[in-house]
Amino acid sequence: MDTPIFDGLKKYVEEGNISFHTPGHKGKNTLIDWGQYIPRIDLTEVEGLDNLQDPDGIILESQKLASDTFKSKATFYSVNGTTGSIYIALGAITNPGDKVLIQRNSHKSVYNGIILNRLIPRYIYPNYNKKNKIVTGINPHDVETILKRDKDIKAVVITYPSYYGVCSPVKSIAEIVHRYNRILLVDEAHGSHLMFSEKLPISSIEAGADIVVQSTHKTLPSFTQTSMIHVVSDRVDIEKLKSMLNLYQTTSPSYMFMASLDIVRAYMEREGVDKLREHIENLNEIVKDLKEIDRVSIFTGDEEDCTIEDFDMTKVLINIKGIRGTTLEKILRNKYHIQLEMSDYYYGLLLTTLMNTKGDLDLFKKAIEEIVSLESYEDMRQIDFGMIEPVVELPIGEAFYREKQVVELEKAIGKISADYIIPYPPGIPIVIPGEVITYEIYKEVLNLSQNGVEIIGPLDYNRGKIRLVK
């Protein structure tokens, strides 16, 4: 029997890799014995099991309990991931044709949500910390400047915390957004755990956001694709939100996913809090030890940077002098069976959760000590990831739906892109659909690719081709 996906999964499991990547459960069957129930609880909307499209029984009860736990006005389950949650939330707080102010380095789901909901994006750029070669946060003053200038902006969308753990001054941003009578949507995909420890940054739910979406599966131990939408203020029309839930979510939601959300909420009300406290103590110890290793630096957000209000320490961002982050990730996986969340030119990122043990962290430290002693210095060019202001020729939605053509990159200069071009780092799009590929952008893309920077988005980029609006 040919089963390439299942065979690949089995192979990965048999390798016994230590997980410093999503999902947050880290492959550990500890909350309940799922083996007793799967696949028997893979059910549909039969009598007694309620209906996610219009809950009035056990699903409604579970969502109300989640609302109490996360201190929201109302909480809704999403089984299409936070990607689906973003589509839903954007649709709930806007109407087609509205302007929204978003971070230029927003997750691709925000851009796709703009296309689907036929919105007009305006951009705010995060700070680029040249010293550490990392994108940090949003300056509240910049938010106010834009809102004061453009009275047509309906909502503001920020990411908090960032993929790297950076937390912008969300309280100040919320105050400014509300002062100008706008709505604040926070993509808190990487922050569902923040609510459960005073030693972590404040959750945007408590910091004044109007609507918050969380990837519960990323930083808490629920299944991949499970997410929550938290309505926090009266600025959000809950009935409209329910309509958007039914528009963007599957009519065959997984009861295993919903049960996973239910169980995680209950777990975090009890022993999960103690487990998180223990994990934070272990992290403090391991980060201190890592900082003492020659060639190793750990970014912890303690910089003179007004855009960093706080830092989520469960994201461990490690740099080894003379070793690219991408090289470090490969060495850790191939030699030590340790899988990172991601890597870029300079850093490797450990996405840790309360399900990671002290033993996991100790093995990582031991691996880093060996790598530092054994690996020679790579030839690394110092790259400054400056930001290029876009030339917008078409609205993103119009460009997305236009007929397209594939051309070689050098022939695309002066033409309108139908693709995203996103370098990692720093994760800020150089181009999105509808923007012109200028000569400056062409040279920047060549420079980045020649220095081993990963480029996300363009069709068949490895062969130097890209899609244009025809």
Q: Are 414 and 450 in contact (CB under 8 A)?
A: no
246 and 326 co-located in one domain: no
Instruction: State the CATH number of the domain containing residue 344.
Output: 3.90.1150.150
Query: What average pLDDT score do residues 282-287 get?
Result: 98
CB 261 within 8 A of CB 62: yes
- Whether residues 182 and 232 share a domain: the answer is yes
Residue 391 lies in a domain: no
Domain final position from 250, 268, 286: 268
Q: 233-247, 269-283, 386-400, 413-427 — which is least confidently predicted? A: 413-427
* Residue 308 Cα to chain centre, angstroms: 17
Rounded distance between C-alpha atoms, residue 284 and residue 44, angstroms: 44
Q: What is the CATH number of the domain that holds 233?
A: 3.40.640.10
Residue 379 lies in a domain: no
Banded model confidence at residue 311, pLDDT cuts 50, 70, 90? very high
Q: Which two tokens stand for residue 66?
A: 């989640």
17 and 74 fall within a common domain: no
Strand runs (DSSP E) across 323-443, as ranges? 338-340, 342-343, 348-351, 404-408, 422-424
Domain shared by 189 and 305, yes or no: no
Indicate if the pLDDT at residue 220 is higher than 90. yes
Query: Which among 341, 374, 407 is the end of a domain?
Result: 374
- pLDDT at residue 447 tops 90: no
Residues 236 and 159 in one domain: yes
Tell me the pLDDT tens digit for each residue of 340-382.
999 988 999 999 999 999 999 999 999 999 999 999 999 888 8
Pull the structure tokens for residue 59. 């699903």
In a domain, 254, yes or no: yes
Amino acid identity of residue 157, one-letter, is: V
From the number of C-beta atoms within 10 Å of its C-beta (0-12, 13-18, 19+), residue 2 rates as exposed
- Please give the share of the chain, as a percent, with pLDDT higher than 90: 84
> Looking at 204, 237, 268, which one is the last position of a domain?
268
295 and 401 belong to one structural domain: no
C-alpha 231/C-alpha 202 separation (Å) is 17
At residue 463, the pLDDT reads 61
Specify if 35 maps to a domain.
no
Residues 262 and 286 in one domain: no
Round to whole Å and give the CA distance between 235 and 28. Answer: 39
Asked if the structure places residue 187 within a domain, the reply is: yes
- The answer to whether residues 244 and 308 belong to one domain is no
* Confidence tier at 124 by pLDDT (50, 70, 90): very high
Residue 386 lies in a domain: no
Question: Is the same domain home to 278 and 368?
Answer: yes
Is the pLDDT reported for residue 138 higher than 60? yes
What pLDDT is stored for residue 410 in this prediction?
Answer: 87
28 within a domain of the structure (yes/no)? no
Q: Which domain holds residue 303?
A: 4-23+273-374
Cα–Cα distance for residue pair 97/17, rounded to 1 Å: 47
Number of domains in the chain: 3
Taking Cα atoms as reference points, which of 424, 434, 422 lies closest to residue 468?
Answer: 434
The verdict on residue 63 lying in a domain is yes
What is the distance between the alpha carbons of residues 68 and 76, in angstroms, rounded to a whole number?
12
Do 277 and 318 have their domain in common? yes
pLDDT at residue 462 tops 90: no
Q: Do residues 18 and 46 both lie within one domain?
A: no
The predicted-structure confidence for 387-402, as pLDDT tens digits, reads as follows 788 899 999 999 999 9
On whether both 306 and 444 belong to a single domain, the answer is no
**What is residue 111's DSSP assignment?**
H
Under DSSP, is residue 449 helix (H, G, I), strand (E, B) or coil?
helix
9, containing H or E segment: helix 4-15
> What CATH number does residue 402 fall under?
3.90.105.10
Residues paired with 371 in a beta bridge: none
Residue 411 identity (one-letter amino acid): K
Query: What mean pLDDT do residues 195-208 have?
Result: 98
Residue with tokens 């630096």: 297
If one compares 446 and 393, the residue with the highest pLDDT of the two is 393
